[in-house]
Structure 1
Amino acid sequence: MSSVEIRICEGSSLDLLDRWIPSNGRTSFHRRRFEQQVAGSGTYLVAWLDQRPVGHLLILWTGCAADESRHWPVRCPELNALGVWPPRQRRQGIGRALLGRAEAMVAERGYVAVGLGVADDNPDAFRLYQRLGYTTRVGRYVDRWTWVDHDGVERQEAEPCTFLAKSLT
């Protein structure tokens, strides 16, 4: 396998992202993440393999938006929306490379910790995060979001999660 290259998303890459890593609904997952980057609240990283996007991760510089997070002792950027596509590309180091690049960027900005949420029904991701040092359970919360399906109907989702933090020092 060729080596994976991790780059900050550029607007010119959005059409390729939509073609190779499809969004579930009418609005582009990637465009919404890129808009957060343009607004300054996030940095959207994309993993490339042989000139094709194969993964993504959003650094939310403002931290976790869940109401429960304001009571957590650790305030840090949140790594969000980690994904590798297509599924046959998983377990080949792409997610690990995205996480490593994101952690380096967070440390470069002077943060001493980084966090992420993992869905209760995703034990594979939980094990990966544990192997990478995300062992501090900071808190439980329900991740909530809305999206518009292909018929134009707004859908609301809720997913029980655990927020994990990792020391970068």
Structure 2
Amino acid sequence: MQSETVPALDGLTIRAAGMGDLPVLAARDIDRLGQLYDRLERHEADRGELLIALIAGRPVGHIYLWREDAEEPELREHLPAVPLIMNLWVSDDHRRQGIGKELVARAEADLSGAGHREVALGVHPDNTDAIKLYLSLGYEQWGYGQIATCKEPARAGKERFANDICEIYVKRLNG
């Protein structure tokens, strides 16, 4: 896991997040408060990595690298031990400026640096902008069809149920 700050696009900085970042992240992305907290807990337990993109110290995006076994059985069967990139988010006022590409590139570099040779991600079939982005970055559909997944993280004592559909895309990493 890389923790140093990396300068990127014109004033953009991407760095690993910490629990201290939760209030400012939630202020920009309140709809994902539970998910952000879950990702930060996993990050703190070294089971993944939450990266945040900042401009002038203000969060403008984030992405999560899931390094645990996938929750979905189809992913565990067809892509065992392959990490996932998930929860890419860029604030509305900073979209289409290359921030999403920079976050994905940093995530891929961190995974490649950790010895991973492949990465996967899921995207809702109606999210055509995200699909275009991932295809432009070299991701390819995995060939096993769509899968049912959950938007919200699992919590102790709560039953999980599939409430979303994803298409899975895979990319070979350099290195």
Corresponding residue number in structure 2 for 1:62: 68
Corresponding residue number in structure 1 for 2:18: 10
Higher strand share: 1
Contact persistence 1:73–1:138 (CA under 8 A): no
Using the TM superposition, name which of 99-108 and 11-20 deviates more. Answer: 11-20
Change (3 A) 1:146 1:81: closer
The one of 129, 134, 142 equivalent to 2:139 is 134
User: What is the aligned length?
Assistant: 160
**Aligned AA (1:165):** V
Contact persistence 1:63–1:78 (CA under 8 A): no
**Aligned AA (1:58):** Y
**Bigger RCO (CA 8 Å, 6+ sep):** 1
Using the TM superposition, name which of 54-63 and 91-100 deviates more. Answer: 54-63
Partner SS state of residue 23, structure 1: helix
Shift of residue 3, structure 1, vs aligned partner: 2.3
Q: What RMSD in Å do the two structures reach over aligned CA positions?
A: 2.2
- Paired with 1:29 and 1:105, the residues of 2 have a C-alpha distance of 21
Q: TM-score, normalised by structure 2?
A: 0.82
**Aligned AA (1:46):** I
Contact persistence 1:112–1:167 (CA under 8 A): yes
- Paired with 1:141 and 1:64, the residues of 2 have a C-alpha distance of 12
Corresponding residue number in structure 1 for 2:173: 168
Shift of residue 145, structure 1, vs aligned partner: 3.7
CA deviations 1:44-88 (Å, max 9, x no partner) are 000101110010111001253212212215641000100011x12
**Aligned AA (1:64):** A
Contact persistence 1:138–1:165 (CA under 8 A): no
The one of 93, 99, 116 equivalent to 1:94 is 99
Q: TM-score, normalised by structure 1?
A: 0.85
- Paired with 1:155 and 1:22, the residues of 2 have a C-alpha distance of 22
Contact persistence 2:65–2:83 (CA under 8 A): yes
Mark the runs of 5 or more structure 1 residues left unpaired by the alignment. 148-153
- Paired with 1:37 and 1:138, the residues of 2 have a C-alpha distance of 30
Shift of residue 161, structure 1, vs aligned partner: 0.8
Corresponding residue number in structure 2 for 1:104: 109
